[in-house]
């Protein structure tokens, strides 16, 4: 997958989030079939943005926005491989099997646990 292909997927999903989702400007092609990039937001106060475990607003996409982008990505490219800091998704079936489990990964602290689906204000 190239940056242009990933960006096309993001552009199809962003209307659901008030046009706040974008491909981060540091995205780049690694090879003809591989890219490195991330999903981000235009405004940390807009739909699809997430907060840190301490409540600080971040220019990062929320768990739900990633879910929607990756769901479409795997519909269009069912054999794609996506590696994130939380999980590795190998193909559409791998994504559907693993993604839901990431909701239980504590991204907070031992004293103040926090879970990705709870760190946004989106209605999804």
How many CA atoms are closer than 13 Å to the CA of 57, on its beta-carbon side? 11
State residue 72 phi and psi, 5-degree precision: -65, -40
Does the pTM surpass 0.85? The reply is yes
Tokens (6 digits) for 92: 């559409």
Residue 101 pLDDT? 92
pLDDT at 124: 63
- Mean pLDDT per block of 10 residues along the chain (124 residues) reads 94 96 93 90 95 90 95 96 91 94 90 90 73
């Amino acid at each position: 997958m190239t940056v242009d292909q990933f960006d096309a997927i993001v552009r199809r999903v962003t209307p659901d989030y008030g046009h706040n989702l974008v491909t981060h400007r540091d995205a780049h092609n690694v090879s003809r079939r591989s890219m490195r990039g991330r999903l981000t937001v235009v405004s940390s106060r807009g739909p699809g943005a997430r907060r840190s475990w301490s409540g600080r607003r971040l220019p990062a996409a929320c768990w739900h926005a990633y879910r929607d982008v990756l769901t479409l990505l795997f519909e269009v490219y069912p054999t794609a491989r996506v590696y994130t800091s939380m999980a590795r998704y190998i193909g559409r079936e791998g994504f559907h099997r693993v993604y839901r489990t990431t909701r239980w990964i504590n991204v907070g602290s031992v004293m103040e646990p926090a879970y990705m689906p709870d760190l946004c204000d989106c209605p999804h």
